[in-house]
Amino acid sequence: MDNTGLSDRLRRLTHPLLLPMARFLGRLGFTPNMLSLIGMGAYVLAAFVLAAGHPLLCAAILIIFGPLDVLDGTLARDSGQESDYGAFLDATLDRYEEFFIYAGLLYYMLNGLGKGPLSALLVLSALSGSFFVSYTRAKAEALGFECSVGILTRFERIVLFILAIVTGWIDPLLAVIALLSFVTTFQRMAVVAKQARKHEG
């Protein structure tokens, strides 16, 4: 049984398509770290666009530039430019990207849609849940455990975020992101606990 997250499985399935794109960007002179930074800039732009009250344009930016989250790693592996710093930079920028789009969403909800404290709490819960999911994997792998399982990884969170701002079902889908993020965190805690017991045994 494949216990890896959906985003990891999608990377494997789409690799034949992503590899030529990554090589093309490499021939244009882009490095993996440059792609990571461009992706970060796109998320910041998307956040400001959303805060200004343009959810459809925000969604379009995320859809267009979202693949850079995968292409940077694909280019690094294919070109032999993988490095510990590159992996660190990519993971750090991923967290900033999520922070900015949720901050943009919070501003849009409070000032553009006239939402109240409950909506703000849902934004905080979704963002916190997303960070917990990422932290548990990073900490587990730093300790030598395998921890790519989970019902809601970064890919699914971004898809649900886009659906939320496009459909206007923001509060319900934020609740789904928050709930499933915390479920994923506990899934990863359970998997690591099982591995730890096996190692100690």
- Read off the tokens for 172: 């319900």
| CB of 24 closer than 8 Å to CB of 83 | no
Q: Which of 69, 72, 90, 94 is catalytic?
A: 94
Question: Distances in Å between the alpha carbon of 170 and those of 8, 111, 118, 163?
Answer: 26, 14, 12, 8
Instruction: Please say if 94 is a catalytic residue.
Output: yes
In one-letter notation, the amino acid at residue 128 is: S
Tokens 């932290």 sit on residue: 135
CA 50 to chain centre: 18
Q: Any residues with CB less than 8 A from the CB of 136 and at least 6 apart, and which?
A: 147, 185, 188, 189, 192
| Rounded-to-integer distance, Cα 158 and Cα 98, Å | 9
With residue 15 as reference, give the H or E element that holds it: helix 6-27
Helices 32-51 and 84-107, packing angle to 10 deg:
10
Residue 36 class from Cβ within 10 Å (0-12 exposed, 13-18 middle, 19+ buried)? buried
Could you list the active site residues?
94
